[in-house]
Amino acid sequence: KIGLRDGSEIELHNPADLPDVMQIMEISEPWIKATILTPDEYLGGVIKLCQDRRGSQVELSYVGARALVVYELPLNEVVFDFYDRLKSISKGYASFDYELSDYKVGDLVKMNILVNAEPVDALSMLVHRGRAEMRGRSMVEKMKELIPPHLFVIPIQAAIGGKIIARETVRALRKDVTSKCYGGDATRKKKLLEKQKAGKKRMRQFGKVEIPQEAFIAALKMDDD
């Protein structure tokens, strides 16, 4: 929910549609009440996961040899891969249930991912300011792994407003344009390399980057390792 300076409130369903920051008074995000049942030996890892995701502990009790822990967590920190991480930490033994609890005002900012200087709306997201740099760095690193090399260099950037907070680069496919130059004609080789460099620069300016579908899903998953 976005509280605007004119006193009105709107619900935001797509981060790409966030109003201009100068119009915004506050941003409230949905929180959940999560109930986790885990064998006691994995409790420490479960608590760390919840705390890393900005969680606030509500209750801790025991049911036999199993710990029952209740946390309030921002939905934004849970929606993508929290369950996978929980299963990994608990070797598959923890159970997880949740219900929506309330909206809380948060220090949230919009983070854009730019590929070849073009924003990718599907990867725009609202993130907590304190986790933005970590989140941006994780995303650009994953995108670098998932976007195949093109004939030109592809810069991948995470940005908040006009500030770049993380950057990676997909290196260009290398084509040996001097392979047909026989002998030691250094001048001709130099001209061919300069021509290739100018061509790649034009390609980068006008070229379209193909982003695989799996990149969108994988890039949105968080790594806390």
**pLDDT tens for each residue of 111-147:** 999 999 999 988 899 999 998 999 999 899 999 998 9
- Widest Cα–Cα separation across the chain: 81
- In this chain, the answer to whether the domains covering 2-106 and 109-219 adopt an identical fold is yes
Joined tokens for residue 163: 């500030």
What residues are paired with 36 via a beta bridge? 69, 96
- Using CA atoms, how far apart are residues 35 and 97, in angstroms rounded to an integer? 5
Indicate the domain borders of the chain: 2-106, 109-219
- pTM summary value: 0.73
Fold of 2-106: Alpha-Beta Plaits (3.30.70)
Q: What is the pLDDT of residue 220?
A: 67
Q: What is the pLDDT of residue 79?
A: 84
Closest CA to 211 of 125, 81, 120: 120
Q: What architecture is the 109-219 domain classified under in CATH?
A: 2-Layer Sandwich (3.30)
The answer to whether 142 and 165 are in contact (CB under 8 A) is no
For residues 193-212, b (16+ Cβ closer than 10 Å) or e, as one string? eeebeeebeebbeeeebebe
- Using CA atoms, how far apart are residues 155 and 171, in angstroms rounded to an integer? 9
The answer to whether 49 and 86 are in contact (CB under 8 A) is yes
Q: What is the pLDDT of residue 176?
A: 52
- Residues 6 or more apart from 108 whose CB is under 8 A from it? 27, 29, 126, 127, 128, 129
According to DSSP, residue 1 is labeled -
What does each of the 225 residues of the chain score in pLDDT, given as a tens digit? 999 999 999 999 888 889 988 999 999 999 999 999 999 999 999 999 999 999 999 999 999 989 999 999 999 899 878 999 999 999 999 999 999 999 999 999 999 999 999 999 888 999 999 989 999 998 999 999 989 888 889 999 999 988 999 999 999 886 554 455 555 566 765 665 565 555 445 444 435 787 888 777 776 666 554
What residues are paired with 93 via a beta bridge? none
